[in-house]
Chain A
Amino acid sequence: MIIKTFVTTYLKKTCNERFISKIKRNVTFYQYSTHLYKSNKWETIIGLEVHAQLNSKTKLFSSSSTSFNEPVNTNVSVIDAAFPGTLPQLNTKCVELAVAASLALSGNVQLVSSFDRKQYFYPDLPPGYQITQHYAPISLGGKIFLNQLDGLEYDTMVRIKQIQLEQDTGKSIHDIVPGMTLIDLNRAGTGLIEIVTEPDMRTSKEAGLTVKKLQSILRTIGSSDGNMEEGSLRCDVNVSVHEHETPYGTRCEIKNLNSIKFLMAAIDVEIERQIKELENGNKIVQETRGFDVLKNKTFRLRTKETATDYRYMPEPDLSPLILNKDYITRISNNLPELPDDLKTRIMKQYGIPLHDVIVLMNETGGVKYFEEAVKNRNPQHVSNWITHELFGLLHARNIKFSQNPVSALQLGSVIDCVDNGDITGKVGKKIIEKMISGDSRLASIIIQDEGLRQLSDINELEKICKNVILQNPEQLRSFKGGKQTVFAWFVGQVMNKTKGQANPKLVNEILRKLL
């Protein structure tokens, strides 16, 4: 936070654009580790499989709610629990969100796709199979671009192989009751899209940025919350290394990475492990690995020989999913502005720095909120109030921005009152706190009702200042004697007397004159 604030202030003062982008890069990515190659001898090939929960109210094949953090096993229907005689019913909202995601990623939405069963036994998978799209996915191809706006020093493109619609599983909870596994089926049957990339990434940073970009695209179009902590976005990564000018090496898959930080760390240690193995004359075997966060090491989960045969089979309960061109065009026309366009436009239109735009975009609906609040106001002020004050206060109270109780209209009223000198910034912050606590009045009304208006009446202030000076002859003497610091003490006294409502600028001027 400190670093961010410092840089933002710093950036405001400089007008050299090239310099800005250089600083920005360093700032935006201070949180990431950077893999240092041992030598230039090795090249790394990275591919991603990203699972994103679809932002639909109900599940992919049942009408149970998808809401997060509900009491266990409360959002479960007979379909989710795979009772005999039940049949899946496709949720068209999920199809719409998947099509929107595919279009936003420049995918080729298929007019005909179909569902398959991926079969394995696990207690949190009630039917014994997951309905997915193995043979004919809903979208083929697509791409994600990375450039300076994303924090990469160069431009690159990650191709997407396919996007498929599928069900999520339930959750197995292993560590609450010793010796037992508990099952929560609330998540079972929630709609997911699996986005599979081509092996087009070369560094952990590119992989991390790809996921970040994907998150921001999915959030912008509203297809997914893309929240890795809550598990609404999950990543598996394939990593292989090879010497330059030689064929690609054998890949290992690292599963269940639940933050971008861990994703990057896991890739880096896996690269090091593979290089070390190869340098010691060993071979890399194709296997699935996990990542131990505490030890910062990857470990073997299963090898190719012990891999499950998923016995994919066309889903006989569901006919092929047939979309018509009009449907796809309609969704395409309703797509909101995508992140790259949005970033450029916001920076240009409002003249606020890239960093602010990124912070706004990191919250779902953040940019929309900004644009509502910014009408007829100073964009930089509005951005500061949102990104520094509002986000900070919400964060301190553990409230998600999506649950933000302060309307853009209310925040705008606070900014207006500060900007035209009715209240101090400090009081403004207090009013926002009130609003977060549920006060739905506009700032001007709160100020009036509670007498928070800033004292800007010069006559009134002069009277108070005179009184303060008269009542404190000793301090006056020491000031006249040359002790400049006492001036601040006088200002403090005036502020005290007015309960912080005096206009500090005016108080300064009046005291200077009187003293």
Chain B
Amino acid sequence: MSLEWANMYSAFGPAYNPHTIISDQKEPIDQELRVAGGSSGGSAAAVASGMCFASLGSDTGGSIRLPASYCGVIGFKPSYGQCSRWGLVAYASSLDTVGIITRNVHDAQLIYDIISKYDEKDPSSLPPKLRSINSSLASFDKTNSNFTDLSKLRVGIPQEYYVSELSDPIKSLWKRGISLLRSYGATIVSVSCPSTRYALPAYYILAPAEASSNLARYDGVRYGHRSDMDSKQDEKLLYTHTRSEGFGEEVKRRILLGTYTLTAGSYNNYFIYAQRIRKMVQSDFDYVFRRPNPLHLVKNESSFCNCNNDEIFEISNKLRKESHGVDVIITPVAISTSPKVKDSLSSSFLSNSDNTKSLDDSFVNAYVNDVFTIPANLAGIPAISVPFGISPIDGFPIGLQLMTQYGDEHTLFYISKVLENNK
């Protein structure tokens, strides 16, 4: 299991950022080894170094987009429910999304169109009827055929994403991305997603809670590691040594956190609140986007279900035109470029630091890396990390993140291609 943000403690050792190892024409300014990011850092590094055409990864809180940004490749997380989770080792089931890492947007779309099919083996797979309604809904990519004219595009800049931890190279890149879209005629709108500030803490309650439950099956009874000690112990301690030896430190930390938030005494104080915040994050996005969320249409307006595809397009296109919402949101992916391996290790959770405060800080810093990527997981909306430049300070790649309404993957690809062609 490789669950760490910096991918330092996975079963197979750390994944290094290929830009430090293989890049010979574009010499990085800093020669030190960098991390590939996690948890799908291995997949990102493999694609970046040309070992493969594309790779699949899983994105629970940014595990595809973050390493993609660090390694300078495309990292795409589809809407929750588009690609089957059958066969994916579950971490946090309600957030886990199978996604794609490639070197360009075209390749990502190619793979996506193949794997985004209904699978009856995954109960959270979007059913065919909803897929059909979704594909009939009006969206930007359907109404616009000219790449050099984005005059009908509305782009949202969420003010809450302008955080103090943001490094200067990333800030300027973000601004450059916005200017680019404006130069193609897009309308830039400042939008607000007020619940964003609570998204990170909510995520770190929900994800460990689900993980503590999903990882309970690794008990050494039917498969996997089993401690020699456990066979000698009495029945009450059957799992203790197996699980203590088999899991890494960060995994254990999250299991303990999740177990705690689910206990009878704290469930109402943590889990329930976190669920509410998740709902708020979702409605923030629904408010901001002008394409209707197909999941709500089916629930609330049953008349929609009886419409044919043309009628659905007509109705939703009218709604979309009247709306003041946006088609796409543009934000940074990470607060910095790829961290140095050395720095990751010094803030390592494994080190027996006597300084408790710095240890606490290191967890929080590590978790803050996910601040831009987590909202898309909580809301289940599609998001992509597109490489958009190189940091003038360390020469490492930086990506920008685009997000669209649930089910609007094709608008996401459309705008991604604009960024890609102009980086």
Which residues of B sit under 8 angstroms from A14, Cβ to Cβ?
A: none
Q: Indicate with 1 or 0, residue by residue over B197-211, a CB within 8 angstroms of chain A CB atoms.
A: 000000000000110
Which residues of B sit under 8 angstroms from A187, Cβ to Cβ?
A: none
- Interface 9-residue window, one of A119-127, A145-153, A283-291: A119-127
Residue pair A85, B222 in contact (C-beta under 8 Å) = no
Q: In residues 115-150 of chain A, which contact B (Cβ within 8 Å)?
A: 117, 119, 121, 123, 126-129
Residue pair A313, B263 in contact (C-beta under 8 Å) = no
Q: Which of A83, A119, A311, A317 contacts B93 (CB 8 A)?
A: A317
Q: Across the two chains, which residue of chain A brings its CB closest to B1?
A: A84
Q: What's the least CB distance linking A311 to chain B, in Å?
A: 4
Q: Does B381 contact A (CB under 8 A)?
A: no
A127–B120 alpha-carbon span in the complex (Å): 21
Which residues of A sit under 8 angstroms from B254, Cβ to Cβ?
A: none
Q: Does A492 contact B (CB under 8 A)?
A: no
Q: Does B89 contact A (CB under 8 A)?
A: yes
- Interface 9-residue window, one of B16-24, B109-117, B212-220: B212-220
Q: Does A92 contact B (CB under 8 A)?
A: no
Q: Indicate with 1 or 0, residue by residue over A56-98, a CB within 8 angstroms of chain B CB atoms.
A: 0000000000000000000000000111111111100000000
Q: What's the least CB distance linking B225 to chain A, in Å?
A: 13
Q: What's the least CB distance linking B211 to chain A, in Å?
A: 11
Q: Which of A117, A119, A128, A316 contacts B219 (CB 8 A)?
A: A128
Q: Indicate with 1 or 0, residue by residue over B99-126, a CB within 8 angstroms of chain A CB atoms.
A: 0000000000000000000001111100
Q: Does B414 contact A (CB under 8 A)?
A: no
Interface centre among B85, B213, B259 (most CB of A within 10 A): B213
Q: What's the least CB distance linking B82 to chain A, in Å?
A: 15
Q: Can you sample 8 A-B contacts with CB below 8 Å?
A: A81-B222, A89-B120, A90-B123, A126-B217, A128-B216, A311-B212, A313-B262, A314-B275
Residue pair B123, A123 in contact (C-beta under 8 Å) = no
Which residues of B sit under 8 angstroms from A121, Cβ to Cβ?
A: 216, 219, 238-239
Residue pair B86, A87 in contact (C-beta under 8 Å) = yes
* Majority SS at the chain A contact face: loop
- Residues on A lying within 8 angstroms of B by beta carbon are 81-90, 117, 119, 121, 123, 126-129, 181, 183, 309, 311-314, 316-319
Q: Across the two chains, which residue of chain B brings its CB closest to A307?
A: B264
Q: What's the least CB distance linking A439 to chain B, in Å?
A: 46
Residue pair B216, A85 in contact (C-beta under 8 Å) = no
Q: Does B267 contact A (CB under 8 A)?
A: yes
Q: Indicate with 1 or 0, residue by residue over B232-274, a CB within 8 angstroms of chain A CB atoms.
A: 0001001100000000000000000001001110010001000
Going nearest first, the 8 A-B pairs with the smallest beta carbon separation are A128-B216, A316-B94, A316-B93, A311-B262, A82-B217, A84-B89, A85-B87, A127-B217
Which residues of A sit under 8 angstroms from B267, Cβ to Cβ?
A: 311-312
Q: What's the least CB distance linking A115 to chain B, in Å?
A: 10
Residue pair B213, A129 in contact (C-beta under 8 Å) = yes
Q: Does B90 contact A (CB under 8 A)?
A: yes
Q: What's the least CB distance linking B245 to chain A, in Å?
A: 16
Q: Which of A119, A126, A312 contacts B222 (CB 8 A)?
A: A126
Which residues of A sit under 8 angstroms from B90, Cβ to Cβ?
A: 84-85, 317
Q: Across the two chains, which residue of chain A brings its CB closest to B95?
A: A316
Known: A126-B217, A311-B263. 6 other contacts (CB 8 A): A83-B223, A119-B213, A312-B267, A313-B210, A313-B262, A319-B123
Residue pair A85, B213 in contact (C-beta under 8 Å) = no
A273–B90 alpha-carbon span in the complex (Å): 49
Residue pair A85, B86 in contact (C-beta under 8 Å) = yes
Residue pair B86, A86 in contact (C-beta under 8 Å) = yes
A272–B216 alpha-carbon span in the complex (Å): 42
Which residues of A sit under 8 angstroms from B121, Cβ to Cβ?
A: 87, 89
Q: Across the two chains, which residue of chain B brings its CB closest to A128?
A: B216
Residue pair A128, B123 in contact (C-beta under 8 Å) = no
Which residues of A sit under 8 angstroms from B264, Cβ to Cβ?
A: 309, 311
Given that A123-B238, A127-B216, A128-B219 are known contacts, is A313 also in contact with B271, CB under 8 Å in the complex?
Answer: yes
Which residues of B sit under 8 angstroms from A81, Cβ to Cβ?
A: 222
Which residues of B sit under 8 angstroms from A87, Cβ to Cβ?
A: 85-86, 121-124
Interface centre among B216, B222, B263 (most CB of A within 10 A): B216
Residue pair A309, B263 in contact (C-beta under 8 Å) = yes
Q: What's the least CB distance linking B224 to chain A, in Å?
A: 9
Residue pair B209, A128 in contact (C-beta under 8 Å) = no
Residue pair B89, A85 in contact (C-beta under 8 Å) = yes
Residue pair A128, B213 in contact (C-beta under 8 Å) = yes
Number of interface residues of B (CB under 8 A): 34
Q: Indicate with 1 or 0, residue by residue over B263-297, a CB within 8 angstroms of chain A CB atoms.
A: 11001000100010000000000000000000000
Q: In residues 74-103 of chain B, which contact A (Cβ within 8 Å)?
A: 85-90, 92-94
Given that A87-B85, A309-B263 are known contacts, is A117 also in contact with B213, CB under 8 Å in the complex?
Answer: yes
Q: Which of B94, B124, B217, B271 contacts A84 (CB 8 A)?
A: B217
Q: Does B221 contact A (CB under 8 A)?
A: yes
Q: What's the least CB distance linking B26 to chain A, in Å?
A: 39
Q: In residues 405-423 of chain B, which contact A (Cβ within 8 Å)?
A: none
Q: What's the least CB distance linking A453 to chain B, in Å?
A: 61
Q: Across the two chains, which residue of chain A brings its CB closest to B243?
A: A121
A117–B90 alpha-carbon span in the complex (Å): 15
Q: What's the least CB distance linking A170 to chain B, in Å?
A: 10
A309–B262 alpha-carbon span in the complex (Å): 9
Q: Which of A85, A128, A316, A318 contacts B88 (CB 8 A)?
A: A85
Which residues of A sit under 8 angstroms from B217, Cβ to Cβ?
A: 82, 84, 126-128
Q: Across the two chains, which residue of chain B brings its CB closest to A124?
A: B221
Which residues of B sit under 8 angstroms from A309, Cβ to Cβ?
A: 263-264
Which residues of B sit under 8 angstroms from A128, Cβ to Cβ?
A: 213, 216-217, 219
Q: What's the least CB distance linking B302 to chain A, in Å?
A: 11
Q: Which of B124, B216, B221, B238 contacts A129 (CB 8 A)?
A: B216
Interface centre among A87, A117, A127, A312 (most CB of B within 10 A): A87
Q: What's the least CB distance linking B39 to chain A, in Å?
A: 15
Residue pair A311, B259 in contact (C-beta under 8 Å) = yes
Which residues of A sit under 8 angstroms from B239, Cβ to Cβ?
A: 121
Which residues of A sit under 8 angstroms from B122, Cβ to Cβ?
A: 87
Given that A87-B86, A87-B123, A89-B120 are known contacts, is A181 also in contact with B94, CB under 8 Å in the complex?
Answer: no
Which residues of A sit under 8 angstroms from B89, Cβ to Cβ?
A: 84-85
A214–B110 alpha-carbon span in the complex (Å): 57
Which residues of A sit under 8 angstroms from B120, Cβ to Cβ?
A: 89
A295–B213 alpha-carbon span in the complex (Å): 40
A126–B221 alpha-carbon span in the complex (Å): 8
Q: Which of B94, B221, B235 contacts A183 (CB 8 A)?
A: B221
Which residues of B sit under 8 angstroms from A181, Cβ to Cβ?
A: 235
A81–B221 alpha-carbon span in the complex (Å): 10
Q: Which of A82, A123, A316 contacts B210 (CB 8 A)?
A: A316
Which residues of A sit under 8 angstroms from B221, Cβ to Cβ?
A: 123, 126, 183
Q: Across the two chains, which residue of chain A brings its CB closest to B275?
A: A314
A317–B93 alpha-carbon span in the complex (Å): 6
A223–B223 alpha-carbon span in the complex (Å): 35
A314–B89 alpha-carbon span in the complex (Å): 19
A90–B123 alpha-carbon span in the complex (Å): 8
A83–B219 alpha-carbon span in the complex (Å): 11
Interface centre among A83, A119, A123, A311 (most CB of B within 10 A): A311
A82–B122 alpha-carbon span in the complex (Å): 15
A181–B275 alpha-carbon span in the complex (Å): 40
A309–B264 alpha-carbon span in the complex (Å): 7
Q: What's the least CB distance linking B297 to chain A, in Å?
A: 16
Given that A128-B219, A181-B235 are known contacts, is A316 also in contact with B92, CB under 8 Å in the complex?
Answer: yes
Q: What's the least CB distance linking B179 to chain A, in Å?
A: 41
A313–B207 alpha-carbon span in the complex (Å): 12
Given that A119-B216, A121-B216, A126-B217 are known contacts, is A317 also in contact with B124, CB under 8 Å in the complex?
Answer: yes
Interface centre among A127, A181, A317, A318 (most CB of B within 10 A): A317
Q: What's the least CB distance linking A202 to chain B, in Å?
A: 31
A81–B223 alpha-carbon span in the complex (Å): 10
Q: Across the two chains, which residue of chain A brings its CB closest to B236?
A: A121
A85–B93 alpha-carbon span in the complex (Å): 10
A87–B209 alpha-carbon span in the complex (Å): 18
Residue pair B87, A318 in contact (C-beta under 8 Å) = no
A311–B124 alpha-carbon span in the complex (Å): 23
